[in-house]
Amino acid sequence: MKNLITICIAVIGLQLAAYSQSPLDPGQIQANFGIGIDDQSGLPIYGGLDFGIADDWTAGAVLSFASSDYVSLGANINYHFDDLLGLPPEWNVYGGANAGILFEDDDIDDSGNGNNQFGIGIQAGGRYFFNDRWGINLQVGTGKEVSDGRLGLTVVIN
Number of domains in the chain: 1
Question: Can you say how many angstroms the Cα of residue 19 is from the centroid of all Cα atoms in its chain?
Answer: 19
Q: Which residues of the chain have pLDDT under 50?
A: 1, 4-21
Give the model's pLDDT for residue 16: 36
**What is the value of pTM for the model shown?**
0.78
Cβ 114 vs Cβ 95: under 8 Å: no
Give the model's pLDDT for residue 7: 47
User: What is the spatial distance between Cα 143 and Cα 141, in angstroms, rounded to a whole number?
Assistant: 7
Give the model's pLDDT for residue 111: 58
Cβ 46 vs Cβ 150: under 8 Å: yes
Write the single-letter amino acid at 45.
I
Domain CATH for 129: 2.40.160.20
Give the model's pLDDT for residue 144: 66
Cβ 66 vs Cβ 58: under 8 Å: no
* Domain that residue 126 falls in: 2-156
